[in-house]
Structure 1
Amino acid sequence: MELRKGLEDIAIKETEITYIDGVLGRLYYRGYSIYDLAEFSNFEETAYLIWFGKLPNKKELQEIKEALAEEREIPEYITEFIKNVRKDANPMDVLRTAVSMLGIEDRSNEELWKKAVKLTAKIPTIISYFDRVRKGLDIVHPDPSLSHAENFLYMMRGEKPNPIDSRTMDVAMILHMDHEMNASTFACLVVASTLSDLYSAITAGISALKGPLHGGANAEALKQFMEIGSKDKVEEYILKKLESGQRIMGFGHRIYKAYDPRAKILKEYARNLAKEKGKMELFEIAEKVDEIGCKILGKKNIYPNVDFYAGLVFYFLGFDPDLFPTVFASSRIVGWTAHVMEYLKDNKLIRPKAIYKGEIGRKYINIENRE
């Protein structure tokens, strides 16, 4: 039996949701280029596309917008949990627990897509409520007149965002919606394949995304830029890191052997936000790391991934670094639920094997006779 550590290059299902061309650095949702979706689409439309396999017409788009807006409020018992949980809790732990609590109460036999809409609508509310409570601020309730991305920023800030911030948030959420069979999506499918409920599957996805090798990499990339401190120190920093065998955070990907298209898109949005917020120095440090890193690591087909500029974008939008994985989850919930629904159409319990390397036929020794 062949051992494939990390299940590398092992396919577990067929999909019509997302296609990645890692060699050419291309990404498609339902056959649509990520560049076109980032330029022309919005969160609600792209979510509809991923869930239902087609772009919505005007009526369908309005219906999904209304459905998401109507489901944003969370039950009072979850609000009370958020108010009473320790203020220094990891935001992903709070999100994971809140989603699990939603599952305890939801005993309905609704179609899975309706539960997907509920979860997608409520996750930004959970995140923003916790962030405001831990900072001693009043909770800001959802505004149904705002788009999904606008409302998220509004609940976080307590004021309506400007058009630049709103559009950047929209695009960032589109880019994080799905990425084929990543660790958290696989975790969701393992649980779903047992015919457990959707909330349990998503709780597993959140737990996997919490890990620093998955959802926390964007915060590490941002920390790296802040640590460098000056554009003039970039080259020395990179060379020292590489000489000591350390990674340049935000570089490299299991699938991409070219520049991640999501990073290309986010780079320009990070640049625009940096200008607007007066943070160009931090962006220029990142850009210099990008330039020098590509010269050195590009020879090994190692390039910036989505996390390289995502951390900057989330930071410029006002999110604290420990919230970055939750913001990631608020987008990836669309992909998680879409893959669960797709997998369950032809479900098979996921049960891989392990290669046994231990002894066989060992003699049992009574405890009195053991050394």
Structure 2
Amino acid sequence: MTIRYPIFKNFKCRFYSTSSDLKAVLKTVIPKKLRLFEHVKKDLSSHQIDIQTVGSVIGGMRGNKAMFWDASSVDPNKGVTFHGLSIEECQDILPKSKMELNDPKSELLPESMLWFLLTGCIPSQEQIDDFSKTLAEHAQLPEYVNKVLDSLPKSLHPMTQLSIAISLLNNESVFAKAYERGIPKDEAWEYVFEDVINLISKLPAIVGKIYSNTYYNGKELGVINKDKDWSYNLSSLIGFTVDDSINHKNLSRSQSKDFVNLVRLYCALHGDHEGGNVSAHATHLVGSSLSDPYLSYSAGIQGLAGPLHGLAAQEVVRFILEMKDTLDGEVDNDAKIEEYLWKRLNSKRVIPGYGHGVLRKPDPRFTAIIKFGNNRPEEFAKDRNFQLVKKLSQIAPGVLAKHGKTKNPFPNVDSSSGILFYHYGLKETLFFTVIFGASRSLGPLSQLIWDRIYGLPIERPTSMDLKTLASL
């Protein structure tokens, strides 16, 4: 393997173990990380990190440096990085599908990102091939989960169904059972690890079941293929891969590896986004009480379902479609686009897909998604929605900067991702967040394992009443 980036010299563990067992690799990483953690805990606990303000207390704790999260971080200028690596670096070095190694358009696998987030080690192709197979072998849902999902009304929000299904798997929790019988504290992580891998393995089947029940009356849209990767199986189970055993003639959509690669890219990019976002923080918070990973991530899913967190991609699609109609399809008319944006802003409506709580430059995830479309001109050159998204990213920042009420006038990942799903035929915009929910499992659940390795305590901040704040 060629090492292209100087930063790799800081990651000796990346080539430390050739084991195909993720848990075995993780065990080689733990001792060094624990020594560092003990040093921080013992020698640096009294060091002050930041000065808290009243504004941060009443403003959603924004900017408070009060949470430990190890695998990813978000810098205002660099965007999200994973163990210090940029998105582009991860795309270059993390393994892809074994079936498409010679395809320059093939994208990194979410299971590669999961391995990296959890261990800090770059996995080999062989390790990921084996890991993909392990996930597929444990993908089938227990019958009681299928029965409960089948009993739910089709009108029930897909995210509610997702949360229910994940909670039901609590019945499978080896951690909960081990804790009940009594286990040493330093062994807890091993049971949490088993739950995490089991949950992530089953997410494609959960997503597929919810999609089928909600939109296709329970019709079988695909099957789990144990020789395929996690994203392929997720795509298959919502009817977006070609399988000779399934009749797809009634589905009006693209069944191609390009959609599978979009799912791979999307899920890898959305896997982690530091710990302060609602879905990650909720998972961490509930997990700090020693709730098992199923209950913990179910809470994260419910947070992700909130309009201010996970629903932006569907709002962007509605916005783009409405805008294109208003423009009479003139998606390259700069003057009309600018006029439309000012009219919207002056009516006190936001431009969805723009702005970010931390970033002060264009979101590199947006750049990666746009690059995905640009690399497939035969697919997207004539897609007026995609072209409008690109044109909007050139015009909207200037309008928003002049408007002056947005700290970051640049596009975020939500401004592009939904339109690509829509292009391939995934028109049920309400379902975008369910795929987001599957992808976001990678980071918070990896961190949950490390929370137990470190033996972090229950999270319990001190609250302040209004009278106290007013007296400061």
| TM-score where L is the length of structure 1 | 0.90
Question: Which deviates more, 139-148 or 71-80?
Answer: 139-148
- What is the Cα deviation at residue 40 of structure 1? 4.5
Equivalent position to 2:311, from 213, 216, 219 = 216
Counterpart for residue 78 of structure 2: 25
| 1:238–1:289 contact (8 Å) kept in structure 2 | no
- 1:257-314 deviation per Cα after TM superposition (whole angstroms, max 9, x unaligned): 1000000111122445684278611112212221111222256532111111111122
Q: Is 1:260 matched up with 2:367?
A: no
SS of the equivalent of 2:441 reads: helix
Counterpart for residue 79 of structure 1: 146
Q: How does 1:111-260 map to 2 (within 5 A)?
A: 111-134=191-214, 135-136=216-217, 137-157=219-239, 159-160=241-242, 161-181=255-275, 182-229=277-324, 230=329, 231=331, 232=333, 233-260=336-363
| TM-score where L is the length of structure 2 | 0.71
- What is the Cα deviation at residue 163 of structure 1? 2.8
Q: How does 1:73-112 map to 2 (within 5 A)?
A: 73-107=140-174, 108-109=177-178, 111-112=191-192
Higher relative contact order (CA 8 A, sep 6+): 1
Gaps of 5+ in 1: 360-371
| 1:132–1:156 contact (8 Å) kept in structure 2 | yes
SS of the equivalent of 1:20 reads: strand
Q: Is 1:289 matched up with 2:396?
A: no
SS of the equivalent of 2:80 reads: strand
Q: How does 1:322-337 map to 2 (within 5 A)?
A: 322-337=430-445
Matched pairs, number: 358
- What is the Cα deviation at residue 15 of structure 1? 3.3
| 1:184–1:206 contact (8 Å) kept in structure 2 | yes
Alpha carbons of structure 1 residues 50 and 318: separation in structure 2 relative to 1, 3 Å: farther
Alpha carbons of structure 1 residues 354 and 190: separation in structure 2 relative to 1, 3 Å: same
Q: Is 1:348 matched up with 2:442?
A: no
Distance in 2 between residues matched to 1:276 and 1:39, nearest whole Å:
23
Distance in 2 between residues matched to 1:77 and 1:10, nearest whole Å:
42
- 1:224-244 deviation per Cα after TM superposition (whole angstroms, max 9, x unaligned): 001112324422221112222
- What is the Cα deviation at residue 16 of structure 1? 2.8
Distance in 2 between residues matched to 1:274 and 1:76, nearest whole Å:
44
Gaps of 5+ in 2: 1-51, 95-107, 179-189, 243-254
Alpha carbons of structure 1 residues 272 and 39: separation in structure 2 relative to 1, 3 Å: same
| 1:51–1:113 contact (8 Å) kept in structure 2 | no
SS of the equivalent of 1:7 reads: coil
- What is the Cα deviation at residue 343 of structure 1? 2.6
Question: Which deviates more, 75-84 or 52-61?
Answer: 52-61
Aligned Cα RMSD in Å?
A: 2.2
SS of the equivalent of 2:322 reads: helix
Question: Which deviates more, 92-101 or 38-47?
Answer: 38-47
Distance in 2 between residues matched to 1:240 and 1:116, nearest whole Å:
47
Distance in 1 between residues matched to 2:92 and 2:322, nearest whole Å:
33
- 1:140-190 deviation per Cα after TM superposition (whole angstroms, max 9, x unaligned): 331111111111111111643423222222111111110002111011111
| 2:279–2:303 contact (8 Å) kept in structure 1 | yes
